[in-house]
Amino acid sequence: MTGAREGADAARRRELGGFLRAHRERLSPAELGLPAATARRRTPGLRREEVAALSGVGVAWYSWLEQGRVETSRQVLDAVSRTLRLDATARAHVLTLAGFAAPERDALPVDPNTLALMGSWRETPALALDPALTITAWNTAYAGLWPDPARIPPPDRNLLLLLLTDPAHQRLLPDWQPVAMDLHRHFRTRADRHPHDDRVRRLNARLRTARPDLAAWWSCRTVGDFTSRTVELTPASGAPALRSTMTLLYPASTADAILAQHVH
């Protein structure tokens, strides 16, 4: 068990280093009041020594941090996060990867109380999602509006995968790309914390195979929680377009989330 734990810790350090490096490379010197990039500046974004100096740490130490070779303190991570202009969600992600926040619980079977709650929503489509966005349960209202998950092979019952690859889902939600992008950021927030989770690895592999044209998405290190949004749906029956507010809810009794939709 010790070896497995050490391997998981090393994987998290590598994820943390990659996350910091990606954000360093996206931040322009001008944003921090530094001289603008010149032809001599080969590194995209900030240099490691610039981040180290602005964060009050040694260059070698910061380099090791990006390489996943060292543990560090919360104070150092707070300073680096401020230098990199990370928002609240990204800062929380950094701390979690460094081991300063409790990891999320593994997904459990959908709680009976959650199922009963979803079943009581006669006009509110809802489905339960595990941390890898796999559809684990749904109500009658959802199956009446969206393609019925019961008719989808179990290995394909993943909301992000369906939005990216299934024409029926894309016809119902023509503006599917912003929703899928936010779901992917939401997934990444959790995936980096569980690099050895088979569900995470399987979904990452399927996404890359199914949509190689979205390579920029798969290499992006941006994270964020899915927030409520209003979308327009076009039912296949030819009925008038509907407006639907999508909200992600977290029952206290389970690691799953509920995606509920209030249809206007």
Please tell me the predicted confidence (pLDDT) of residue 170.
95
List 259's β-bridge partners, or say none: 127, 248
pLDDT at 1: 44
User: Would you call 134 helix, strand, or coil by DSSP?
Assistant: strand
Tokens of 198: 């088979």
Spans in the chain with pLDDT lower than 70: 1-5, 36-44, 101-109, 195, 237, 252-255
Question: What is residue 149's predicted lDDT score, i.e. its pLDDT?
Answer: 94
Selection from 98, 84, 72 nearest residue 21 by Cα:
84
**How many other CB atoms are there within 10 angstroms of residue 179's CB atom?**
18
Q: Is 57 helix (H, G, I), strand (E, B) or coil?
A: coil
Query: E strands along the chain, which residues?
Result: 126-129, 135-138, 229-233, 242-249, 257-263
Q: Which fold has domain 112-263?
A: Beta-Lactamase (3.30.450)
Domain 2-97 has CATH 3.40.640.10: no
pTM of the predicted model as reported, rounded to 2 decimal places: 0.70
- Closest by alpha carbon to 104, among 127, 132, 69, 66? 132
- Residues carrying CATH 1.10.260.40, the chain: 2-97
- Residue 226 φ then ψ, to 5°: -65, 125
